[in-house]
């Protein structure tokens, strides 16, 4: 009887702990939830705009527009440090591999320095053709291949299995980005996926529900180089994990309590 009373008392105490843990989880966020001056928790998205320390504003929008100068999202602007193969048809000595410098420029034979960053590949091709055609070549045909792109990378952070920086193409989507990061971890909330995008001096952020996207209820938004995707934690999943942990403690405690009687 003494052993039984001890076990019953101990289990009662552990179940009080379970309730406490569950309540605590419901009123706090995951310790892995990202926090920065540019991050916005789902519960804080009550304002449509907030100033940023570096200037501009963080603005909450329902859907993100395509970045500027992308031909309505069909092309990716070039960025500093991108590596380009510039080929001039039938003029091999003018063809070469160049890197966009920190100032956004490249240097080519005869025409010298030309700004590349912020332009699409087609825009830069046309500008180089115009420069060569003005004084050096008749009807030049210039082709540019992006050999390595720093600008066509995204950051995926928060409650995913493999947070990191990943390359994307011009037709990448939010679902593709989540897949690159290994999907959601055990506490990741598919309803709390936030995408941040710099548009001019401002940073825009939109909340997307990946459950609805996968179910065909919402569109799968395109993702562009420079985007930052943050997945926040589900408080109900945190509470459930804490509950499971506590139940494991309760089960072990009950077993330990009856061992002395053997």
HSE-up of residue 5 (Cα within 13 Å, Cβ side): 2
Q: Which of 107-111, 243-247, 254-258 has the highest mean pLDDT?
A: 107-111
Q: What is the pLDDT of residue 46?
A: 43
Residue ending a domain, among 123, 148, 173, is 148
Give the contacts of 25 (CB within 8 A, at least 6 positions apart).
235, 238, 239, 241, 242
Per-residue model confidence as pLDDT tens digits over 53-103: 777 788 999 999 988 766 666 677 888 999 999 999 999 999 999 999 999
15 vs 159, which has greater pLDDT? 159
Burial of 181 (0-12, 13-18, 19+ CB in 10 A): buried
Is 185 in the same domain as 224?
A: yes
35 within some domain: no
SS3 content of the chain, % helix, strand, coil (to 5): 30, 25, 40
pTM for the full model? 0.63
130 within some domain: yes
Which range marks the domain in which residue 120 is found?
A: 83-148
Per-residue model confidence as pLDDT tens digits over 211-230: 999 999 999 999 988 899 99
**Phi, psi of 57, deg, nearest 5:** -145, 155
Domain count, the chain: 3
Per-residue model confidence as pLDDT tens digits over 20-64: 433 333 333 333 444 433 344 433 444 566 777 777 788 999 999
Q: What is the pLDDT confidence band of residue 171, given thresholds at 50, 70 and 90?
A: confident
Alpha-carbon torsion (109, 114, 120, 122), positive or negative: negative
């Amino acid at each position: 009887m003494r052993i039984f009373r001890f076990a019953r008392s101990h289990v009662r105490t552990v179940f009080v702990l379970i309730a406490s843990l569950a309540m605590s989880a419901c009123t706090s966020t995951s310790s892995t939830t990202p926090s920065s001056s540019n991050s916005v928790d789902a519960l804080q998205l009550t304002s449509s705009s907030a100033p940023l320390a570096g200037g501009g504003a963080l603005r909450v929008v329902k859907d993100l527009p395509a970045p500027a100068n992308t031909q309505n999202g069909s092309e990716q602007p070039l960025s500093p440090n991108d590596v380009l193969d510039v080929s001039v048809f039938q003029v091999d000595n003018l063809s070469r591999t160049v890197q966009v410098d920190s100032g956004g420029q490249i240097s080519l034979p005869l025409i010298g320095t030309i700004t590349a960053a912020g332009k699409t590949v087609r825009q830069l091709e046309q500008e180089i053709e115009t420069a060569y055609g003005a004084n050096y070549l008749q009807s030049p045909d210039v082709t540019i291949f992006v050999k390595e792109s720093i600008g066509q990378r995204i950051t995926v952070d928060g409650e995913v299995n493999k947070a990191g920086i990943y390359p994307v193409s011009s037709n990448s989507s939010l679902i593709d980005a989540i897949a690159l990061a290994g999907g959601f971890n055990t506490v990741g909330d598919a309803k709390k996926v936030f995408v941040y995008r710099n548009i001019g001096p401002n940073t825009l952020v939109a909340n997307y529900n990946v459950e609805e996207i996968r179910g065909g209820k919402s569109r799968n938004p395109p993702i562009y180089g420079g985007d930052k995707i943050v997945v926040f934690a589900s408080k109900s999943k945190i509470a459930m994990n804490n509950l499971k942990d506590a139940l494991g403690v309760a089960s072990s405690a009950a077993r330990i309590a009856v061992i002395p009687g053997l």
